[in-house]
Amino acid sequence: MKKLFYSPKLAPYIFVLPFIITFIIFWFTPLAKAGMMSTQKILPGQTEFIGIENFERLFHDRIFIKAVANSIKYMVLSLILLIPIPLLLACAVNSKLVSDKVKSIFKSSLFIPALTSVVVAGTIFRLVFGESDHALLNQVISLFGHEPVKWLKNSVTGFSALMSLACWRWTGVNMMYFLAGLQSIPEDYYEAASLDGASSWKKFVNITVPLLKPTIVYVFTISIYGGLAMFTESFMLWSGNNSPNNIGLTIVGYLYRQGIEKNNMGYASAVGIILLVIVLIINITQLVATGTFKKEER
């Protein structure tokens, strides 16, 4: 028995066994169950196999299509805002022109929002973007002679509020990722570029960005998933899952509406499967496009 456990052939499998067990219990099994439920009509005490009817119904469901469009729009805007801005902030913090004391204060102040509960953050932003005369933003615009605005009842201003909440919460987190990547780049590269007369912009484009590529790809990947899986922020901002004209409804919000609010678990499972497929397609496409799956040349 001792020889069996110390066997070089068996040892790798023993080490990966905890991951395999966790993967099967917490990922594969729920996914298989959801896939099975997506082909069923589930009522209290009654289950009926209906094949792909749930999926056929989804593609003709206007509310679901709007939820998908909202999630994709949120994801795209979060990629546009939450990759370049944190990257530039990380470069500024990593600069030698900034003292260590200022760096510490700056990093702490930007990371604190990530530690704040999304429930608290959503409630605060709902009050900031409230429609009453006493809401913070309405008080600000009143100073310039404007009438109070119903921020969360309009598609453009409502989504702007949602993106403001996203930027407030996640800018510091992404900045930390980029900062960790920047600090792993050898300073010799920048010194050699300076001797060759390279400008700051050329250093950024030719040294920083290429060597930061693994970090950028990682942040890009988690941002895609985070954007498509967003739910709590919208739920708290509109104080529920029923925003006006569904302007804040997301795919996960629609899943919650069908599965929890309407107890239609079969249809909700189909929504979840579609979400998984969308995430996989987008992420695999960008990973292939960025060369992540390419084999390194030896």
pLDDT tens string for the chain (298 positions)?
566 666 777 777 788 888 999 999 998 999 999 999 999 988 777 888 999 999 999 999 999 999 999 999 999 999 999 999 999 988 888 887 777 777 778 777 878 888 888 999 999 999 999 888 888 899 999 988 888 899 999 999 999 999 999 999 999 899 999 998 998 888 888 889 888 888 888 988 999 999 999 999 999 999 999 999 999 999 999 988 888 999 999 999 999 999 989 888 999 999 999 999 999 999 899 888 887 776 554 4
92's tokens: 């500024």
Range 51-98+171-289: architecture per CATH: Orthogonal Bundle (1.10)
Q: Distance (Å, rounded) from C-alpha 86 to C-alpha 215? A: 12
Q: Distance (Å, rounded) from C-alpha 17 to C-alpha 23? A: 10
pTM of the model: 0.88
Of 266, 281, 231, the closest CA to residue 251 belongs to: 231
Cβ neighbours of 41 (radius 10 Å): 16
Cβ neighbours of 256 (radius 10 Å): 18
In angstroms, the Cα distances linking 125 to 129, 174, 196, 291 are: 6, 21, 49, 39
| Residue 41 phi, psi (nearest 5) | -105, 115
HSE of 225, CA atoms in CB hemisphere, 13 A? 9
Of 197, 195, 218, 215, the closest CA to residue 94 belongs to: 215
Position 296 scores a pLDDT of 52
Give the dihedral sign, CA 70/75/79/81: positive
